[in-house]
Amino acid sequence: MGDIENTCASLRAQIAATEAQLAGLKRELESAEQEAIKARAPDALNLAPTVSNQCSEKRRWPLLDEEYRRYGRQMIVPQVGLQGQLKLRSAKVLIVGAGGLGCPAAQYLAGAGVGTLGLVDGDTVESSNLHRQVLHRTKNVGKLKVDSATESLRDLNPHPTYIAHRAHLAPSDAAEIFKNYDLVLDCTDNPATRYLISDTAVLLGKPLVSASALRTEGQLMVLNNPPRPVGDKTGGPCYRCVFPRPPPANSILSCADGGILGPVVGTMGVLQALEAIKVITAADDAVQPPSLHIFSAYSSPLFRTIKLRSRRSNCAVCSAEASVNLETVKSGSTDYVFFCGSVSPEKLLSLEERISPLEYRAKYPLESSREAIAMGRKEPMIIDVREKVQFDICNLENSINIPISSILSSSTTKSQNGDGPSPLPPWLPADIASSESNDPIYVVCRLGNDSQIAVKRLKELGLDRGGERVVADLRGGLRAWREQVDPEWPEY
C-alpha cells in the first residue's frame, strides 16, 4: 500500500513540475510573440532601398498588415470603419465574471480587436460549466477561470493585451481595478456584486453593460451612458435607478438551482459584446436612450424592449442626494451583502426532525416490503419536493413527487368555526392524508432546504398526529445521499 501511495505522490509531483514548465514556456512564447511584432518595423529599415521605401510607405497606415486582414470584414461596416477599429484597438474593457456571460462576451470583444481586455473572477473551471462557458475546455477543469479564458483568447487573437484579476471582485479593490479601464461589462450572477459594479462604474465615470440570464430568459441594459458626473441629470441611469431595492434574498435563483440553457446565456453575452462595441465606436453625440431588453427563448417575439427613465432624483449613488461614494464603498460602510440580504441554508427544524441519509439507510436497509412487514417495521413514505423535471432525472425508489411550488401555492387555512381540522390541499395524496396511516414520512430535496419547509407545512396540516407520527427531512438532501449512501447517484 505504501509503495502505491509513493508512486501516486511521485506522479503528482511530476505532473506539477511539467505544468509549471509548460506555464513558463507559454510565458516565454507570449513574450517572444510581442517582441516579434515590435521588431517588424526596425527590421524593415535594413532592407534594400526600394523595399525600404515600400515598407516606409506601408508604415504610414495605422494598422499592421495582419490587422487589416483580420478586421477587414468589420471595418467595411459603415458604423465601424477605420476610425471605429482604431477606437477598439485603444479601448480598455473590463469583464467582471468569466462564466456563461463573460465567455462569449470576451470571445467577441477579443475577436473584434479590443486593445486591452481585463477579466475578473476567482472561481475555477468545473465540468458543470462546460455546456455554456464556451471559452473553457475539459483539460482546464480545476484551473482558474481567468487563466483558462485568457489561454483560449490568446489562441483566438494574440494582438490584445489580456489582464487576469484572479479573485472575486471586492469593494476594497473595485475602484483600483476599474480606474484602468474605459468600459465595464457586468457578467456576474448575484445582486450584491451587480450593485457594487454599478456604483463603482458611476463613481469613476465608466459606462456599464449589464446582463443576466436564467433558465430560458435574459435581460440586457447599457447603464451610466453617457457617464456624467454624480448629480448631472443628463447622465444615463445606473443599476440603482432601475432597481432601487434588491429582490428578496430567498427569491434569487442561481443557474445551479434554476437551470440555464447554454445558448440563452450565450445570446446575452454576445449582445453584451455588441453593445460594448457600439459604445466604444459611437460618435460622441450618438448615445442611444436607455432601454431594458428582455429575451425569452420560448416566446414570440423573442425580444421585448422597455424604455428606461433617466437618472432618479433621489438615487443613492448618481443623484445630487447621493449617500454612496468611493470612500463608503472602499471602507465597507456601504454593505452590499446587508443591502441585498444573504441566503444562508435553512435551519427551520430541530435535530429530532431531521435524519441524515446514512442514518436513514441504517434504519431502513435495502429489503423487500414483505421482509419489512414480517419484521414488524413500518415502511416509510418518501416525498421528493424537487420540481418534476428534476425528479425525472433521478429519484429514490418508491418516492413520490410533490413539487415544493405546489406546496407553497396553497396556504394553511382554518375551518370556518375555527375548531375543526384544516381542509387538506389537493396536492396531498389520500394515502398520506389518511387518518388510518401512521407510516413515517420523510421529505427529501436536492440540498436539504426545501425539504425543511415542506416538513413544517405537513406538520401544520396535522400529518404528524400530534407527534405520534414521524415527519422528518433527509438532512443535506440528495447531495448528501450521494456522499453518504450511493456514490453512483447522478450529480447534476
Is the pLDDT reported for residue 36 higher than 80? no
Residue 129 marked as a ligand binder:
yes
Task: Give dist(CA 178, CA 192) in Å, integer.
Answer: 17
Q: Which residues of 254-277 are buried (b: 16+ CB within 10 A; e: fewer)?
A: ebeeeebbeebbbbbbbbbbbbbb
In degrees and rounded to multiples of 5, residue 146 shows phi and psi of: -65, -35
Residue 247 or 112, more confident: 112
How does DSSP classify residue 375?
T
Residue 100 marked as a ligand binder:
yes
pLDDT of residue 58: 46
**In-domain check, residue 304:** yes
Residue 238 marked as a ligand binder:
yes
Cell of 408: 407553497
**In-domain check, residue 99:** yes
Average pLDDT of the residues in 292-315: 96
Residue 187 marked as a ligand binder:
no
Q: 3-state SS of the chain: helix, strand, coil percent to 5?
A: 45, 15, 40
- Cα Rg, the chain, nearest whole Å: 29
Sheet of 441-444: strand order equals 354-355, 471-474, 441-444, 381-384, 399-401
From 103, 255, 340, 394, the catalytic residue: 255
Residue 145 marked as a ligand binder:
yes
Percent of the chain at pLDDT exceeding 90? 71
Task: Give dist(CA 355, CA 361) in Å, integer.
Answer: 10
Of 320, 340, 360, which marks where a domain is finished? 340
Of 291, 321, 340, which marks where a domain is finished? 340
Residue 131 marked as a ligand binder:
yes
Residue 156 marked as a ligand binder:
no
From 103, 187, 340, 445, the catalytic residue: 445
**In-domain check, residue 382:** yes
pLDDT of residue 45: 34
Total domain count, the chain: 2
Confidence of residue 63 (pLDDT cuts 50, 70, 90): very high
Q: How many residues in total does the chain contain?
A: 492
pLDDT of residue 18: 74
Residue 140 marked as a ligand binder:
no
**In-domain check, residue 37:** no
Where is 10: in which H helix or E strand? helix 2-44
Supply the CATH number for residue 197's domain: 3.40.50.720
Q: Same domain, yes or no, for 302 and 366?
A: no
Confidence of residue 52 (pLDDT cuts 50, 70, 90): very low
How does DSSP classify residue 144?
B
Q: Same domain, yes or no, for 183 and 312?
A: yes
Confidence of residue 55 (pLDDT cuts 50, 70, 90): very low
Contact 453, 347 (CB under 8 A): no
Q: Same domain, yes or no, for 330 and 456?
A: no
Q: Of 196-210, 239-253, 370-384, which has the strongest mean pLDDT?
A: 196-210
**In-domain check, residue 26:** no
Supply the CATH number for residue 379's domain: 3.40.250.10
Task: Give dist(CA 115, CA 157) in Å, integer.
Answer: 11
Is the pLDDT reported for residue 309 higher than 60? yes
Residue 8 marked as a ligand binder:
no
Residue 132 marked as a ligand binder:
yes
Please state, as a whole number, how many other Cβ atoms lie within 10 Å of the Cβ of residue 335. Answer: 11
Task: State which residues form the domain around 222.
Answer: 65-340
- Please indicate whether residue 55 is annotated as part of the active site: no
Confidence of residue 30 (pLDDT cuts 50, 70, 90): low
Residue 245 marked as a ligand binder:
no
In this predicted structure, which of 32-46, 149-163, 170-184, 445-459 has the lowest mean pLDDT?
32-46
Q: Same domain, yes or no, for 332 and 458?
A: no
- pTM equals 0.79
* Helices and strands per DSSP (H, E), number in the chain: 20, 13
Q: Same domain, yes or no, for 281 and 379?
A: no
Q: Same domain, yes or no, for 371 and 253?
A: no
Task: Give dist(CA 332, CA 16) in Å, integer.
Answer: 38
Cell of 249: 434574498
Contact 184, 208 (CB under 8 A): yes
pLDDT of residue 142: 97
Instruction: Quote the mean pLDDT of the chain.
Output: 87
Q: Same domain, yes or no, for 391 and 329?
A: no
**In-domain check, residue 14:** no
Q: Where are the beta strands (DSSP E) in 256-374?
A: 291-296, 303-307, 354-355
pLDDT of residue 205: 97
Residue 386 marked as a ligand binder:
no
Confidence of residue 320 (pLDDT cuts 50, 70, 90): very high
Q: Same domain, yes or no, for 277 and 360?
A: no
- Please indicate whether residue 340 is annotated as part of the active site: no
Confidence of residue 225 (pLDDT cuts 50, 70, 90): very high
pLDDT of residue 370: 54
Q: Same domain, yes or no, for 266 and 314?
A: yes
Of 340, 365, 398, which marks where a domain is finished? 340
Q: Same domain, yes or no, for 256 and 399?
A: no
**In-domain check, residue 204:** yes
The model's pLDDT over 81-112, given as tens digits with 9 standing for 90+, comes to 999 999 999 999 999 999 999 999 999 999 99
Q: Same domain, yes or no, for 187 and 209?
A: yes
Torsion region of 308: left, alpha or beta (phi above 0 gives left; psi -120 to 50 gives alpha): beta
Task: Give dist(CA 119, CA 146) in Å, integer.
Answer: 6
**In-domain check, residue 178:** yes
Residue 6 marked as a ligand binder:
no
pLDDT of residue 53: 42
Residues 6+ apart with CB under 8 A from 150: 119, 162, 164
Q: Which residues of 202-240 are buried (b: 16+ CB within 10 A; e: fewer)?
A: bbbbbbbbbbbbbbebbbbbbbbbebbebeeeebbbbbb
Confidence of residue 42 (pLDDT cuts 50, 70, 90): very low
Q: Same domain, yes or no, for 204 and 328?
A: yes
